[in-house]
Amino acid sequence: LIRAADGTLHAFNATCTHLNCTVQYRSDWEKIWCACHGSRFDTATGANESGPAPRPLQSWKVEVSEKGEIFVTRA
């Protein structure tokens, strides 16, 4: 789950689409990154931008209730 600078929330499956390593957020690059083979993904769309990952990260649906509770579900 990532909160963009404009407050928008984005959620993705943290499993890399290359060989299933767990991805992580790199604040220095402002990208989602896979340490196994260096794939990088866009933080707003999950698009694969570089490295061997063949597909975008699976995005999940984010909803915020009136109480501010955050719900993430598989889209």
Q: How far is the CB of 15 from ligand FES (least distance, A)?
A: 9
Please tell me whether residue 56 binds ligand FES under the rule CB under 6 A: no
Q: How far is the CB of 75 from ligand FES (least distance, A)?
A: 22
Which residues from 7-46 bind ligand FES, rule CB under 6 A? 16, 18-19, 21, 34, 36-37, 39
Pairing of strands 70-74, 59-64: antiparallel
| Residues in the chain, total | 75
Report d(CA 48, CA 19) in Å as an integer.
Answer: 14
Cα–Cα distance list, 44 to 4, 47, 60 (Å): 8, 8, 12
**Site residues (CB under 6 A) for ligand FES?**
16, 18-19, 21, 34, 36-37, 39, 51-53
